[in-house]
């Protein structure tokens, strides 16, 4: 079973994504912020990471950079989620190594 890590500070959104993905047969693990997400990614080594851009403590860009700088997590596909249609921010995320963007709301 493929494992997906969802990192978002909005609990309702994590729950919604978890429900939708688990119904499709994925195992979903969650983290409420980037710092916790980095820890979970190191331990669980998910097949995919979905991460919000705008979070307290550690935003999605810093989370992405942290994981790209570690050999064990550097190649995990990473999709940034954002509610902002900010092309400069999207470009920045792609330059940091994001594989794609997922606009919110879904």
Q: H-helix or E-strand containing 100?
A: strand 100-103
- Average pLDDT of the segment spanning 77-85: 88
- What's the topology of domain 3-103? Rossmann fold (3.40.50)
In this predicted model, what pLDDT tens digit does every residue of 20-62 receive, in sequence order? 999 999 999 999 999 999 999 999 999 999 999 999 889 999 9
Q: What length does the chain have?
A: 106
Residue among 99, 82, 85 nearest 8 (CA): 82
Q: What is the pTM of this model?
A: 0.93
Residue 5 burial (10 A CB sphere; 0-12, 13-18, 19+) = buried
């Amino acid at each position: 079973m493929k494992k997906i890590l969802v990192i978002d500070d909005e609990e309702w959104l994590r729950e919604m994504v978890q429900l939708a993905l688990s119904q499709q047969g994925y195992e979903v693990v969650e983290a409420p912020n980037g710092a916790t997400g980095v820890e979970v990614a190191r331990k669980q080594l998910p097949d995919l990471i979905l991460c919000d851009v705008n979070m307290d403590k550690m935003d999605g860009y810093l989370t992405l950079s942290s994981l790209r700088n570690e050999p064990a997590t550097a190649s995990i596909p990473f999709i940034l989620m954002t509610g902002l249609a900010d092309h400069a921010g999207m470009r920045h995320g792609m330059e940091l190594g994001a594989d794609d963007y997922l606009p919110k709301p879904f």
